[in-house]
C-alpha cells in the first residue's frame, strides 16, 4: 500500500518537474510589437483570417455524440434478453430509456436544439 503511494508520489513529482522545465525553457523573454503583429504586405489586415465558429453546430454535435454512445449502450440489452429475468430486463430498459428521454427533454427545454441564425 505504502509502496504504491510512494511510487505515485515520485511519478507525480517527476511529471511536475518536467512540466516546470518545459514551461521555463519554452517561454520567450522578448516580445516585440512588430513581431507579434500580422503581416500582410506591410498593411494592416482588413478582416479576420479565421471564420467565426458556430456554437450551435458544436452543441448539436456534442448532443449527437452523447446520444450515439447511449444508443450503443442499449445494444447489450437486446443481446441479454434471453438470459435474464424479464421483470429486471423491463425495469432496466425502462430506467435507461427514461434517462435518455429526460436528457433530451432537458436539452430541448434549455433551447440547445433550436437552430438560430
For 65-102, the pLDDT digits (tens) are 888 888 888 888 888 888 888 888 888 889 988 988 89
pLDDT tens column, 13-26: 999 999 998 888 87
Which are the contacts of 70, defined by CB distance < 8 A and separation ≥ 6? 96, 100
Tell me which residue has cell 434471453.
82
C-alpha cell at 55: 456554437
pLDDT at 41: 65
C-alpha cell at 72: 450503443
- DSSP readout, 6-17? HHHHHHHHHHHH
pLDDT at 23: 82
**Structural domain spans, the chain:** 55-117
Range list of β-strands (E), the chain: none
pLDDT tens column, 48-67: 666 677 777 888 888 888 88
Amino acid at each position: 500500500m505504502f509502496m504504491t503511494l510512494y511510487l505515485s508520489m515520485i511519478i507525480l513529482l517527476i511529471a511536475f518537474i518536467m512540466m516546470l522545465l518545459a514551461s521555463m525553457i519554452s517561454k520567450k523573454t522578448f516580445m516585440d510589437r512588430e513581431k507579434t503583429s500580422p503581416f500582410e504586405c506591410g498593411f494592416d489586415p482588413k478582416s479576420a483570417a479565421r471564420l467565426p465558429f458556430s456554437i450551435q453546430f458544436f452543441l448539436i454535435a456534442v448532443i449527437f455524440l452523447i446520444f450515439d454512445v447511449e444508443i450503443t449502450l442499449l445494444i447489450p440489452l437486446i443481446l441479454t434478453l434471453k438470459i435474464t429475468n424479464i421483470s429486471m430486463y423491463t425495469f432496466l430498459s425502462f430506467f435507461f430509456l427514461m434517462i435518455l428521454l429526460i436528457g433530451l427533454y432537458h436539452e430541448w427545454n434549455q433551447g440547445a436544439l433550436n437552430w438560430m441564425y
